[in-house]
């Protein structure tokens, strides 16, 4: 993977998108800290790092297609580790590989790359039954690990999450994630190190992640939910039980900010939201169905409300996550003639205009574009 300029918390650098001779659009830094030239900064970063840590997060309310994008990056870029942060099994990813569809709630979505180790960071709460079932069903026994400090969801947490205010007002998934995170804040939650059935999967995930980077291996960091379900930055109280922006996901897996090279925010070509909570300019069920935007949540099966792409929401997501690039999914649903396309040049003018309008508004490039439900239905515009 090509090495990118690191995202450093002490360096505030504005970004512009500029077209190149090959028709791709790449990020260019406008100003540089302490009077350093662009060339000098690049040389410093390249001398310091020869590998890439990429963080992938959702830009709206979840349901953006992160599972597809992460699965594609995991198979295309062959990272040493795919590591998951986030809240818990209240987040679901759907992955279609050939004729098979996987619905994943706990196992990192990079498991399709059988050479990658897939790990769950200590910031995640885990339902052992769900995790062990997915490991078995998806044949990931030789590649799946979780940190000893992952919190454990017990039956009592699921019961608390399945009724009362959390279910009736907030629209909780009933997975037990919120109550488990609540108990963790109270320091009463059991941890993975206390569960016998998980003993063979325990690893020091932060150590493994940082050691892989130190050894010159790539790491892919998988976020869950979406920016505006963040406990800090979302539509409170209709949010999940912790922060799920890039900063929170990195904390979940033990990755410091100076070791992150790319932050990819995933947007769907339209906005959807499952359950309760505000959704600006939501379409009627009839109109959503007419446009082919009727969808259902991976975890709960509940219908998703839909709205047109929200540029102001996308811009805020890019800001909150420190995005260096974005992925756009389901362009083929918005523009059916894009279905299966693998080249940006093959897209119709209206589709290109839509992608470019997002790039111009956000000031970052569209790195990966989804053009169909299969993992391989992708236009990859990243520099080789």
Catalytic one of 63, 161, 261, 310: 63
State the pairing for strand pair 144-147/202-203: parallel
**Contact criterion met (CB below 8 Å) for 103 and 133:** no
Triad 242, 243, 248: Cα angle to 5°: 125
Q: Distance between CA atoms of 212 and 115, rounded to whole angstroms?
A: 14
Chain centroid to Cα 48, Å, comes to 26
Chain centroid to Cα 166, Å, comes to 24
Helix, strand, coil shares of the chain, percent, nearest 5, are: 35, 20, 40
* Residue 63 is among the residues annotated as catalytic for this protein: yes
* Residue 183 is among the residues annotated as catalytic for this protein: no
Q: How many CA atoms lie within 13 A of 115 on its CB side?
A: 10
**Contact criterion met (CB below 8 Å) for 365 and 323:** no
Q: Distance between CA atoms of 27 and 324, rounded to whole angstroms?
A: 7
Catalytic one of 77, 93, 183, 332: 93
Residues involved in catalysis: 63, 93
């Amino acid at each position: 993977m090509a090495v990118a300029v690191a995202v450093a918390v002490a360096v505030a650098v504005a970004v512009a998108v500029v077209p190149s001779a090959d028709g791709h659009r790449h990020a260019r830094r406008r100003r540089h800290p302490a009077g350093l030239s662009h060339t000098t900064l690049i040389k410093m970063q390249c001398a310091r790092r020869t590998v890439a840590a990429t963080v992938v997060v959702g830009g709206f309310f979840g349901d953006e297609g992160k599972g597809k994008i992460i699965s594609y990056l995991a198979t295309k870029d062959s990272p040493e580790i795919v590591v998951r942060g986030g809240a818990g099994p209240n987040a679901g990813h759907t992955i279609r590989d050939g004729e098979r569809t996987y619905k994943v709630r706990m196992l990192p979505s990079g498991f399709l790359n059988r050479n990658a180790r897939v790990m769950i960071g200590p910031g995640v709460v885990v339902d052992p039954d769900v995790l062990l079932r997915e490991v078995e069903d998806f044949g990931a026994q030789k590649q799946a690990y979780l940190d000893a400090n992952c919190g454990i969801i017990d039956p009592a947490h699921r019961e608390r999450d399945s009724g009362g205010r959390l279910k009736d007002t907030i629209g909780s998934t009933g997975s037990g994630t919120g109550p488990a995170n609540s108990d963790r804040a109270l320091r009463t939650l059991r941890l993975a190190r206390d569960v016998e059935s998980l003993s063979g999967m325990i690893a020091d995930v932060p150590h493994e992640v940082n050691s892989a980077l130190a050894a010159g291996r790539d790491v892919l960091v998988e976020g869950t939910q979406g920016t505006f379900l963040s406990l800090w930055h979302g539509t409170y109280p209709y949010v999940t039980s912790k922060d799920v922006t890039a900063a929170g996901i990195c904390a979940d897996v033990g990755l410091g900010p100076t070791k992150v090279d790319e932050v990819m925010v995933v947007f769907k070509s339209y906005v959807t939201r499952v359950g309760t909570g505000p959704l600006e300019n939501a379409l009627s069920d009839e109109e959503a169905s007419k446009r082919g935007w009727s969808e259902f949540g991976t975890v709960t099966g509940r219908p998703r409300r839909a709205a047109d792409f929200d540029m102001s929401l996308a811009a805020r997501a890019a800001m909150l996550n420190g995005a260096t690039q974005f992925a756009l999914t389901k362009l083929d649903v918005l523009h059916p003639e894009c279905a299966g396309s693998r080249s940006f040049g093959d897209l119709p003018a209206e589709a290109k205009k839509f992608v470019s309008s997002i790039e111009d508004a956000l000031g970052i490039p569209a790195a990966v574009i989804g053009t169909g439900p299969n993992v391989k239905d992708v236009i990859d515009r990243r520099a080789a």
